A and B are shown apart, each in its own frame.
Chain A
Amino acid sequence: MSTLRKLFGFHGGVKPDPNKDLSTREPIGQLALPDHFVVPLHQSVGGTPRPLVAVGARVLKGQRIGAADGNVSAAVHAPTSGRVVAVEPRVMAHPSGLAGTAVVIEPDGLDTPCERDPFLWRSVEPAEVRDYLRDAGVVGLGGAVFPSHLKLRAARDHPMQTLVINGAECEPFITCDDMLMREHAAGIVRGAAIMGELMQPREILIGIEDNKPQAAAAMRAAVQAAAVRGMEVVVVPTRYPAGGAKQLIRVLTGVEIPHGTRSTDYGLQCFNTGTAYAIWQALEQGMPLISRVVTVAGNVARPRNFEVRIGTPMGTVYAAAEPLADTQRYIMGGPMMGFKLPTLAAPVQKATNCLLAGTASMFPPPAPEMPCIRCGQCAEVCPADLQPFELYWFARAHNYGKAQEYFLFDCIECGCCSYVCPSRIPLVDYYRYAKSEIWARERDKTAADGARLRYEARLARAERDKLEKAAKLAAKTAAGRQKAEQALSGGATPDAAAAEDPKKALIEAAMAKARAQREAVQPKNTDGLTVAQQAEIAKAEQRRELARQMAENKEAPPE
């Protein structure tokens, strides 16, 4: 292992107080089974899994209860054995408090695992391994919850150079990766090695910020023990957001992956340490992703990491860390990028890396917003090399075209700009709002296109109806005469039904056509979008409501 590796810097970044010591004093804890689990079906970027179980069904620990919806999706599983008591919308951990369909499971206390045959991943095609991981529900655990199987394929014409395992964990308070690396280094390393076999990179670099010496030491020992060729632990300087995938790739390789492109096109790929561990568990332990490590920190008596099963109500997890009486707000994620929880009834999901409890003094509301003085400090710290204040001017003026010209969508919403702004402008809120507005407009435009198509179709239908009516009218006299004759001969019934049928068929055909048109329009909407863009739409959607509230609540900006 060379310690002389050349590291690259990235522009900007900030150094907030890491606040990581308190939650790393105790080992990762286990929680007792809660009275019920609320397992959300939609937990990753992409399609919402179809429920595979109905109310009353008995499920076993690790049993698949939601099947991936298409390839851009990932399955979900029962966190324990028990009975399905509901499949219904439940409030989710989501800034807007939107509900999402969840499978509610009452544990039987036995925790009986689901039997499964060992999966001999080495002897099957990589594509089969990827399908297996999709069905094991493995998604990125760094917070982006992107289905991992989609990232595990090298670009056809770009051999993999570097596989980056992200153990930087740069955001304050969060220590789940740190603790996982300390306690499960071997599993992570094996998971990384599996990814290496699937992608065949020249090297596998495990990046860890230098404020986690114990994790780095544990990982080094594990790498040495496993003796994987080309795998190396690289300690990187602590600076938020060094743990951003693009930032870490840049630090380790010097390559900047532009927004909207795939890193595999540059021969690079990046996975979180937790994801590596989950891959190992899935492929070699036969355990799908049903739990993750969650940091509970902030205003709690016992800040700590817990291994939490997906679907555990957040209140239960908080309770284990004993929030102090003066706790006023609950945040999922870190203080830089997290969001306030609308309710503690929401369940832990795969994206939940940290649960923070806070007081007003710990996370104080910002001082009143002042006008931008163009001091440029936001630009100094922007890791995306943007000019945040320009974006702010454009976003505020609803000049979204300009905002996009200035690369609004390259903003990773890291919060560095808001963090330093002396005018205390909630810059990121403006960007979230602007992004969601732009997506909404795109959608409206597509919807308008759809409406135009439907309108044209209606005109055509009206035309056809007119023709049909004329034809019917012409046929009526003849038909009436025939009918009367048949009635006289006593054979009316079947023919009357036959006369009804064409009408029904006509209506059905029209409906089918309308449906087909709708469907023809909808895919067009998303056809041209990359998966990452879809993810962004989803994210923007999520924040839209919140941004709205923000815009409404805020007094008119000063000056």
Chain B
Amino acid sequence: MNNSPFILAPASVTAVMLKVLGALLPGVVVYAWIFGPGVLVQIVLASLTALAAEAAMLAARGRPAGRFLADGSALVTAWLIALTFPPIAPWWITVGGTAFAIVVAKHLYGGLGQNPFNPAMVGFAVMIVAFPALMSQWPAQGLSAAEQIGLIFGAPRPLDAITAATALDALRTGLHESASAASVATVMASHPAFGQFAGRGWEWIALAYLAGGLYLLQQRLITWHIPVALLLGLGLTALPFWLADTAHYASPLFHLTAGASVLGAFFIATDPVSGATTPRGKLIYAAGIGVITWFVRAYGAYPDGIAFATLLMNICVPLIDMKTQPPVFGRKERR
């Protein structure tokens, strides 16, 4: 027994999520190509954990497991975790972060559609607070596949020769530790983590994410508001500082291509469940993430700020949405 409309556009949550995964693929490929296969191992680990945790929670909550497992939302969370965690993070970090994301951040809040916080970012934040060192090591150049997999599954990780900080991390520690002597230019020149604009290889990964993001836009799964506002918020905050003191502040371009900026703009902040939904709300929400990200990067204790910025803005979403309700048909002047 159903009522009109009797025809429906072909659409499903599963299709939405699969498209998001598809849009992430170019980024995954470029990532693996530049940093080695560690990230692929992480994706498998996170995916399996997410599905298992999801199944267990659905069973515990008495929900139809088949239908909800197939919705693909757990996989998106898993992939975002795998892509934001270090590719050589020990397996238990990934498993723990993913399980926390699914069990606590998603299901304890009521499951699909109910979580006020982005689950992947909750997983990231918890893990980086608990294990800051392990969450900051990226594979050094030329680390073989075997070595990467070894590190993930428990090989001792003593040396800087096999692991490296990200460009963001290196820049901050470089600037902080060597005080006034160092400048962005010297740090960048002296450290292997830096490439053309930002981290070595990160430009290409960012471009690949951008391609996926454009696909999401084209598919109308996201609107332009969040990516544009986030990147603008980040870039425009970086700009005056950089102009005022090029020696100690990285350029907007560095910030835009470094770390999870583009991933965050198109894939993380755009998580519909935990993000703002009105057009103006999206602008405010995403610009906020961009600005906060810059401050965390510049002054915080952690290498990247996207996760904390996202979680902070998640808190504001109900208020933002309430205050930015778009005018209704015929009531444009009156509101």
Contact = CB atoms under 8 A, between A and B. Distances in A.
Interface of A: 10-11, 14, 16-17, 95, 172, 246, 250, 256-259, 261, 331, 333, 335-340, 358, 363, 365-368, 370-377, 379-380, 383-387, 389-390, 406-407, 410, 415, 418-424, 426, 428-429, 432, 546, 549-550, 553, 558-559
- The bracket for how many chain B residues form the interface is 35 or more
B9 interface: yes
Interface in B254-277: 272-273, 275, 277
B330 A246 contact: yes
Contacts of B3: 95, 339-340, 426, 428-429, 432, 546, 550
Contact of A257 (B9, B111, B278, B330): B330
Contacts of B114: 371, 559
A474 B218 CA distance: 94
Interface of B: 1-9, 11-13, 15-16, 63-64, 67-68, 71, 73, 110-114, 220-221, 223, 272-273, 275, 277-278, 321, 325-332, 334
Contacts of A428: 3-5
Given A246-B330, A371-B111, A379-B278, 19 more contacts: A16-B7, A16-B9, A259-B329, A259-B330, A367-B12, A371-B112, A373-B113, A375-B16, A377-B11, A380-B223, A383-B329, A385-B326, A389-B277, A410-B330, A420-B9, A423-B13, A423-B113, A559-B63, A559-B110
Contacts of B4: 331, 333, 335-339, 415, 428
Contacts of B328: 259, 384-386, 407, 410
B9 A419 contact: yes
A420 B11 CA distance: 7
Max chain A Cβ within 10 angstroms of own Cβ: one of B9, B330, B331: B330
A14 B64 CA distance: 31
A424 B12 contact: yes
22 contacts: A257-B330, A258-B334, A259-B329, A259-B330, A337-B5, A358-B6, A363-B6, A371-B111, A371-B114, A373-B16, A373-B273, A376-B277, A379-B278, A387-B325, A389-B277, A418-B5, A421-B11, A422-B12, A428-B3, A429-B3, A549-B1, A559-B63
A11 B5 contact: no
B327 to A, nearest CB: 7
Contacts of A376: 223, 272, 277
Contact of A419 (B5, B13, B331): B5
Nearest to A413: B4
Contacts of B15: 422
A358 B331 CA distance: 39
A385 B13 contact: no
A370 B71 contact: yes
A406 B330 contact: no
A34 to B, nearest CB: 27
A11 B9 CA distance: 18
Chain B interface SS verdict (over half): loop
A338 B220 CA distance: 28
Max chain A Cβ within 10 angstroms of own Cβ: one of B1, B273, B321, B327: B1
A419 B7 contact: yes
A415 B12 contact: no
Contacts of B278: 379, 387
A340 B1 CA distance: 9
Contacts of B111: 371, 559
Contacts of A429: 3
A366 B8 contact: yes
A40 to B, nearest CB: 22
Contacts of B11: 377, 420-422, 424
A415 B9 contact: no
Given A366-B2, A377-B220, A428-B5, A256 B277 contact: no
Nearest to A432: B3
Contacts of A550: 1, 3
Given A11-B329, A336-B7, A558-B63, A553 B113 contact: no
| Pairs A-B, 9 closest by C-beta atoms | A258-B330, A371-B113, A415-B5, A363-B6, A256-B330, A422-B11, A335-B6, A375-B272, A335-B7
Contacts of B12: 367, 370, 422, 424
Contacts of A418: 5, 8
Contacts of B113: 370-374, 423, 559
Contacts of A383: 329
A426 B2 contact: yes
